[in-house]
Amino acid sequence: MTAFRATNVLLDETEVRVLGSLVEKDITTPDYYPLSINALVNACNQKSNRDPVMNLNEEAVRQALHSLNEKGLAGTASTADSRVPKYEHRMQEAFNFTRRETAVLCVLMLRGPQTPGELRGRTERMHRFEDLTDVQSTLQKLMTREEPLVKMLARQPGTKEARYAHLLSGVQASWDAPPPPVQETSSNSADSERIARLEEEVADLEREMAELKQELAGFRKQFE
């Protein structure tokens, strides 16, 4: 396995999920970022836009945050207007990414190896790529850094596009396994992506409303 120079360590799957979730929410729901521990646990365990779906508890997420803090990739945010501790990623400080590089790496972290076509559709909320050439040039930049952060995988038999994977956890043996058969048509797949994004946005709003109510209740108690 090869470590990336920014931290000289490899991330485990929980750290990758926590870091990827922080990056995603920073871009897609900036009004509710940084995240409380409860919001972060929910973001990690989303059923949409996650592969695999995980069921992390608060303690696992806290441990991952502690480890990411030691590696300079995440930590407690300075938020004077909140009584609840909030957490943020520090990917920009570590890697100095462009917006498109951040979007591609984030989706690879949250959903595993993907083709350029899949990446183009799934990064839409974070960065709109005009065409596949734009996605491929971004992947190329991530692959040709001094310490590469992305790897192109061998094309699987019967597939038209090669998949790409992030290297924040090193090279994985599972990458050599054939991808699961695709059941959906391209039209159905696009519809599923849009529905998943809408479901995620609704879940984000409901979760943040619940947190705001909780914070408001705590604020009111100070004056009782």
Mean pLDDT split into 10-residue runs, the chain, 224 residues: 51 98 97 96 96 97 98 88 88 95 98 96 96 97 96 86 95 69 54 68 69 65 60
- Could you state, in order of their start, the residue ranges of all structural domains in the chain? 13-172
Sheet of strand 86-89, all strands in order from the earlier edge strand to the far edge: 35-36, 86-89, 74-76
pTM of this structure: 0.77
Dist. CA 40–CA 18, nearest whole Å:
7
Q: Which two tokens stand for residue 25?
A: 């929410």
The number of beta carbons lying within 10 Å of the beta carbon of residue 120 is: 21
Query: What's residue 2's pLDDT?
Result: 37
Fold of 13-172: Arc Repressor Mutant, subunit A (1.10.10)
Peptide bond before residue 180 is cis, with ω within 30 degrees of 0: no
Separation of first and last alpha carbons in the chain: 57
89 DSSP β-pair partners:
74
